[in-house]
């Protein structure tokens, strides 16, 4: 086989990056030890993808990209003007990089950072494959889908994608996060397992609103549950100080706050959880159901195209999750909903059983196999 080259591109959040990591790892299995497969990452500079793709052995190329803000205020308007200038600059940068690298394929995970790369690839007639995670695509993926030869989607009824290009496979997830161990989790998080374990996740940066709700009823929750709380790097110090001050000594052993989970921590946290409370990004949802865990999903109301709510309600219809809109997220209501779920163990078991209706853990392998077949033509 002659040398093959792939450019990966996508936004800067974990929701864009981790599915790319899943596809990359599966591609390495499809081409074991084959140095003729060259993989690159091209997008705006961001600490999350830089860390992950360096770990995975990809060469990175950084470009400018512009993000459209839909808020009508002076700062957003000014930033939009600046970012509109960045887009053509990013397209020119992308054309230069693509011309030099001469890839056989561009694989886009979406997000505003992928738009200049996709436009440049279309100008140079380089084939593009797109994966859309969310049920309601954002503006960037609606644009990129026009240039893509195939669009793989996570949800059966994903909106706004040409039916002739659309293939439903689920969201690629890292197989490694399915390999957790309850005993290792007990050691890692100092768990007692004397009570059901709630895993609270607010996204890669944490969620101040979810954190505040948890803290408001933390003492009551800890009477009945043990909690692993991923609260964000910017929040961890404050939360540890506050909880150390107000929690009774008898309950402190049941509360385990963390800033952010690395891959090993995450897989063990999943394995330990009885119920997961999470934002409703597609990446989190598909990891949760693949781990066969029931969940309460709290969509981020500011998410573009309201895509987190769209994601959440689609899984809720299968019975695997419950949705709580943030406008209803009062501490008392939140506490009572959790208590009601655990008032009958059969409710939790039914939710767990329903995860099978939604889980698609092979999406990353399917995409990698498709890419291999394309490259071998």
Q: What is the pLDDT of residue 148?
A: 95
In three state form, how does the secondary structure of the chain look? CCCEEEEEECCCCHHHHHHHHHHHHHHHHHCCCCCCEEEEEEECCCHHHHHHHHHCCCEEEECCCCCCCCCCCHHHHHHHHHHHHHHHHHHHHHHHHHHHHCCCEEEECCCHHHHHHHHHHHHCCCCEEEEECCCCCCHHHHHHHHHCCEEEECCCCCCCCCCCCEEECCCCCCHHHHCCCHHHHHHHHCCCCCCCEEEEECCCCCCHHHHHHHHHCHHHHHHHCEEEEECCCCCHHHHHHHHHHHCCHHHHCCEEEECCCCHHHHHHHHHHCCEEEECCCHHHHHHHHHCCCCEEECCCCCCHHHHHHHHHHHHHCCCCEEECCHHHCCHHHHHHHHHHHHCCHHHHHHHHHHHHHCCCCCHHHHHHHHHHHHHHC
Q: What is the pLDDT of residue 46?
A: 74
Burial of 349 (0-12, 13-18, 19+ CB in 10 A): exposed
Give this prediction's pTM. Answer: 0.91
User: Which residues sit opposite 58 in a β-bridge?
Assistant: none
Q: What is the pLDDT of residue 265?
A: 97
Mean pLDDT in consecutive groups of 10 residues from the start of the chain, 377 residues: 91 77 95 90 78 86 81 71 88 97 96 93 98 90 93 90 90 95 98 98 78 96 98 92 97 96 96 97 94 96 85 95 93 95 90 91 96 93
Residues 6+ apart with CB under 8 A from 8: 20, 23, 24, 39, 40, 41, 42, 53, 58, 106, 107, 108, 109
Specify whether the CB–CB gap between 131 and 109 falls below 8 A: yes
Q: How far is residue 199's CA from residue 49's CA, in Å, rounded to a whole number?
A: 25
Nearest to 339 by CA among 256, 225, 215: 225
Angle at 218 between CA 215 and CA 220, to 5 degrees: 145
Angle at 283 between CA 277 and CA 288, to 5 degrees: 45
Which tokens in the block code for residue 225? 């549950």
Q: What is the pLDDT of residue 328?
A: 86
Tokens 């598909």 appear where? 286
Which tokens in the block code for residue 204? 């890669």
Domains of the chain, CATH where assigned? 4-173+361-376 (3.40.50.2000), 176-357 (3.40.50.2000)
Which tokens in the block code for residue 306? 């309201």
Q: What is the pLDDT of residue 1?
A: 67
Q: How far is residue 3's CA from residue 37's CA, in Å, rounded to a whole number?
A: 6
Q: What is the pLDDT of residue 101?
A: 98
């Amino acid at each position: 086989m002659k040398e093959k080259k792939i450019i990966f591109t996508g936004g800067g959040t974990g929701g864009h990056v981790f599915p790319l990591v899943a596809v990359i790892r599966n591609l390495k299995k499809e081409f074991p030890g084959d140095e003729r497969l060259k993989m690159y990452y091209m997008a705006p500079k961001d600490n999350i993808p830089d860390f992950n793709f360096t770990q995975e052995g990809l060469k990175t190329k950084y470009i400018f990209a512009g993000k459209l803000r839909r808020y009508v205020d002076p700062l957003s308007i000014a930033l939009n003007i600046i970012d509109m200038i960045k887009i053509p600059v990013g397209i020119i940068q992308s054309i230069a990089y693509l011309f030099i690298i001469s890839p056989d394929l561009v694989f886009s995970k979406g997000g505003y950072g992928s738009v200049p790369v996709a436009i440049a690839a279309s100008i140079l007639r380089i084939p593009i494959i797109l994966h859309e995670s969310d049920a309601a695509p954002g503006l960037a993926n609606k644009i990129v889908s026009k240039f893509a030869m195939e669009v793989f989607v996570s949800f059966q009824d994903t909106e706004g994608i040409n039916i002739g290009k659309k293939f439903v496979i689920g969201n690629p997830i890292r197989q490694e996060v399915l390999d957790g161990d309850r005993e290792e989790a007990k050691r890692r998080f100092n768990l007692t397992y004397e009570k059901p374990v709630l895993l609270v996740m607010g996204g890669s940066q944490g969620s101040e609103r979810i954190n505040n709700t948890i803290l408001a009823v933390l003492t009551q929750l800890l009477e009945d549950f043990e909690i692993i709380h991923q609260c964000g790097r910017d929040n961890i110090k404050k939360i540890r100080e506050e909880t150390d001050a107000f929690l009774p000594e008898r309950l402190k052993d049941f509360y385990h706050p963390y800033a952010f989970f690395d891959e090993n921590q995450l897989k063990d946290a999943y394995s330990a959880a009885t119920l997961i409370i999470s934002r409703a990004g597609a990446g989190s949802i598909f990891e949760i159901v693949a781990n066969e865990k029931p969940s309460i999903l709290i969509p981020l109301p500011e998410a573009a195209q309201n895509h987190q709510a769209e994601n959440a309600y689609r899984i809720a219809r299968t019975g695997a999750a419950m949705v709580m809109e943030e406008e209803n997220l009062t501490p008392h209501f939140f506490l009572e909903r959790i208590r009601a779920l655990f008032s009958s163990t059969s409710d939790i078991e039914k939710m767990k059983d329903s995860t099978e209706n939604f889980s698609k853990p092979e999406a990353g392998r399917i995409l990698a196999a498709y890419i291999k077949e394309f490259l071998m033509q």
